[in-house]
Chain A
Amino acid sequence: MSAAIETVASAARTDAPPAITLDRVNKWFGALHVLRDISMEVALGERVVVCGPSGSGKSTMIRCINRLETHQDGRILVDGKELTDDVRSLDAIRREVGMVFQSFNLFPHLTVLENCTLAPIWVRRMPKKDAEALAMEYLTKVKIPEQAKKYPGQLSGGQQQRVAIARALCMKPKIMLFDEPTSALDPEMIKEVLDTMVALADTGMTMICVTHEMGFARQVADRVVFMDRGEIVESGPPDTMFNSPQTDRLKLFLSQILRGH
C-alpha cells in the first residue's frame, strides 16, 4: 500500500514541475523570527503532513502558501507561478488552492448550499444550476447532502468542517491546504472529518496538512515535515519519522504527543 503510494509520488516528482516550491522563505512578526529559511518542494499528488509544537510556525508557513500571510524574504511558487503583490496573479493562485481552517470560517449568513456555490458562481463564472449540482455532488461526497438548506449554525462542528471541505472542493482546486482541521472539534467528531480527508487523499489530491493526528499521518502522508521554532527540523516518510526519529527535538515532541494520547 505505502510502496504503491511512494511510486506514484516519485513518478509525479520526476515528470511534472512541483506543485509548491518554498525557497529560503523568511518571515518575522515584529522582531520575532517565525519562519527561518524554509525550503520545501511538494510534488503534484503528494500528501504532506506538517507537525510540530505550537508556535513552531507551521500554520504561518501554510498560510503563506495562499498569501493569507506575506513572506518577507525568499520565494514561493505555487503551480509554477510566483507569489507577489500582484492582485491578479494572486487571485489566480487562490483559485487553484483550497483552504480548510481550524475554526471552519463558514459564512454564517448563507446556507450550506450557498456557502458552496458562492465562489464557483462569482469566481469561476459558473451558471447557478451547475454550481448547485456540483455543490450537491461534493456535499454527498462528504456525506451531508441533507443539510444543504440549513445554516452553518445549525450543524455540529464535525458537519461544519465537512461543509468547509466541500466548499473548498467546489472550486476544483489543484492543491488543498488544511490548517489544523480537527483541533477545534470534540473528540467524537474528529473521526468523521479525518475519514473525509482520507477519502480525499485517495483521489490523488495534492494536500498539505497541519495536524497532530499521527494516525492520519501514518495512513495517508507520503512525507511528514517536523517544524520547531520556525525551521524545518526533520522530514521523511511517516514510518521512518515516527519509528526512528533522528533529532532530539522530534524525539521530545513525539514523546509529548504520545503521552497525550
Chain B
Amino acid sequence: MASDTTTTQLAVATAVPEAAPRTPPISVIGPIAWMRANLFSGWISTAVTLALAYLIARWVIGFVDWAFINAIWSVPNNQTQACRDLRGTGACWAVVTEKHRFILFGTYPYEQHWRPALVCVLFVGLYIVSAMRRFWRKELALVWILALTAIGILMWGGILGMPYVPQERWGGLPITLILSTFGLAFAFPLAILVALGRRSKMPAIKAICVLYVELIRGVPLISLLFMASVMFPLFLPEGMNIDKLLRAQIAIILFAGAYLAEVVRGGLQALDKGQYEAADALGLSYWHKTSFIILPQALRLVIPPLVNTFIGFFKDTSLVLIIGIFDLLTAGKTAIVEPAWQGFGVEVYITIGLIYFCFCFAMSKYSQGLEAELNRHRRR
C-alpha cells in the first residue's frame, strides 16, 4: 500500500516537467556573430583589428606583387640582366628554374639524376606506407630493408648497368633524407634502450646510460660532427678509411639518440606505477612487461615531444655543411655561387624553406592524427 502511494507520487513528480520540455539555449553561431564576438567587441578591439588588417593586407599585396605579378620565371642562357633590373620589385624565380636540379641533387652526375630522383620518391613512398596503420606488421621491417637496399644501390650504382658514383658527389635532397631517415631509424631504438637502461636496477648499465646521455647532450652537434670528420680518422690504422657520410651519420645517430632517450624516459616516468605493478603481479617477464604494457603506453604519452625532436633533427641535418657534405641547404647555397646568379639568395632560400616545410608540416600533421587515433581508448 505504502509503496503504491510512492509510485503515484513519483509518477506525478515526473509528469510535471514533461509537460514543459526545455530546449537548450539557442547558441549564437555563424561567421558574423563570431567576428562580432572576437574582433569587434569594443572600440579598442575594433581599432586593433582594423590596424592589423591594414598591415596584413599591405604585406600580402606587396608579397604577391613581388612573388607573382612582377616575377620573372625564366631567362635565356643565364642572361640575368632582366632579373637584375627588377631587383627589389620582382622575384627572379629563374634562378630556381635554372638551378633546381643542382639544388635537389647537388653534384651528382647530371645525366644520372633520375637515380637520386627515384631515391627521393622511394623515401616518400616509404614514409607514406609506414604511416598507414594497416601496414603496421612484421612485413614492414622487410619493406624497409628492401627499400633502403634499393636506395643504396641506386645512389652508388656500379651494377645493373648504372655507373658507379662515389659518395663525394652525392648531394641535395637525397642526402638530407638519408641522414634524417637512417638517423632517426637507428636513434629511436637506441633511445628506447638507453631510456630503459637509465631506469635499470643494475648499476653498471645505469651508469653507462647516464654517462652516454650526459656526455652527448653536453656537447654541441657541430663539435660532434667535427670530431667524426676530422679527429676520428686520426685514430684509425693507416690505410683504413670510413666513409665521411657514414661518420656524420653515426654522429647524428648518437646525438639524436641521447635526446630521444630523455623524451622516452619522460614517458616511462609519467606512466602510473600501478601499470608496472599489475604487470609484475601477473608474472610477466621484464621484456614482456616492457614491450606489451609499458612502452605502448609510455610512447603514446610522448608523441608530441618525440615528433618535436624528430622535426628538430630533420632540420639539424643541415649542419653537415660544416664538414663539407652537400645536403639540400648546402646545395642551394652553392647553386648561387656562380657569378651570373649571385644575389638571388632569397628566391633559393624560400624554395628550400618550402621543401623543408612540406616535410616538417607533414610530420606534425601526421603526429596529431596519430595521437588522436592512439589515445582513442581514453575517451568514453
Contacts and interface: CB of A to CB of B under 8 A. Distances in A.
Contact of B275 (A97, A107, A122, A171): A107
Given A91-B285, A154-B380, A109 B274 contact: no
B278 interface: yes
B277 A153 contact: no
Contacts of B272: 105
B13 interface: no
A105 B283 contact: no
B296 interface: yes
Nearest to A171: B282
Given A107-B293, A108-B377, A122 B284 contact: yes
B281 A95 contact: no
A106 interface: yes
A119 B283 contact: yes
B377 A153 contact: yes
A30 to B, nearest CB: 18
A40 B274 CA distance: 27
Contacts of A154: 380
Interface in B336-380: 377-380
A105 B377 contact: no
B281 A66 contact: yes
A185 B272 CA distance: 19
Contacts of B284: 118-119, 122-123
Given A101-B278, A108-B297, A122-B292, A91 B283 contact: yes
A101 B277 contact: yes
B297 A109 contact: yes
Given A101-B277, A105-B275, A109-B300, 10 more contacts: A105-B272, A105-B278, A109-B297, A119-B282, A119-B283, A119-B284, A122-B284, A122-B285, A151-B377, A168-B281
Interface of A: 66, 68, 91-92, 94-95, 97-99, 101, 103, 105-109, 118-119, 122-123, 151-154, 167-168, 171
10 contacts: A94-B281, A97-B281, A101-B274, A101-B278, A103-B274, A105-B277, A107-B275, A123-B284, A153-B377, A153-B378
Would you list the 7 A-B pairs with minimal beta carbon distance, nearest first? A105-B278, A94-B283, A105-B274, A119-B282, A99-B281, A151-B377, A95-B283
